[in-house]
């Protein structure tokens, strides 16, 4: 199987996980008047869930790029920087 297919499957799974995170039953669990560190639980949950989805997408893209061996996932070698003029 091509690595692109695996990457796409992982991204679709992450999308479905994001749908689950932002669906009614989980949102209702955190919709209360209590505060955590001065922030309502619902706002904190939304921020953390959104950050987790973004981090998951970045992790999936970076790992699949490294496995492909194209170097785009390895920032330590200067990949992604502009070439000198």
- pLDDT category, 76, cuts 50, 70, 90? low
Task: Decide if 9 is inside a domain.
Answer: yes
In a domain, 28, yes or no: yes
Is there a domain that residue 85 lies in?
A: no
pLDDT at residue 29, as a whole number? 95
CB 75, CB 64: distance < 8 Å: no
Q: Tell me whether residue 81 is in a domain.
A: no
- Residue 36 in domain: yes
User: What's the mean pLDDT in 3-7?
Assistant: 81
Span 80-85, average pLDDT: 64
The number of folded domains in the chain is 1
Residue 52 has pLDDT above 80, yes or no: yes
Specify the 3-state DSSP secondary structure of 39.
strand
In a domain, 80, yes or no: no
Tokens standing for residue 35: 């505060």
| Host domain of residue 7 | 3-69
- For residues 55-66, give the mean pLDDT: 92
HEC string of the chain equals CCHHHHHHHHHHHHHHHHHHHCCHHHHHHHCCCCEECCEEHHHHHHHHHHHHHHHHHHHHHHHHHHHHCCCCCCHHHCCCCCCCC
Q: Please state the rounded mean pLDDT for residues 44-55.
A: 97
Torsion of CA 51, 54, 59, 60, to 10 degrees: 140
Would residue 52 count as lying in a domain? Answer: yes
């Amino acid at each position: 199987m091509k690595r692109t297919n695996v990457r796409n499957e992982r991204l679709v799974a992450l999308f479905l996980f994001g749908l689950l995170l932002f669906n009614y039953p989980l949102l209702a669990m955190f919709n209360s008047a209590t505060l955590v560190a001065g922030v309502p639980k619902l706002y904190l949950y939304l921020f953390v869930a959104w950050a987790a989805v973004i981090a998951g997408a970045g992790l999936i893209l970076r790992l699949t790029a490294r496995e492909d061996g194209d170097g785009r996932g390895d920032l330590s070698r200067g990949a992604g920087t502009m070439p000198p003029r």
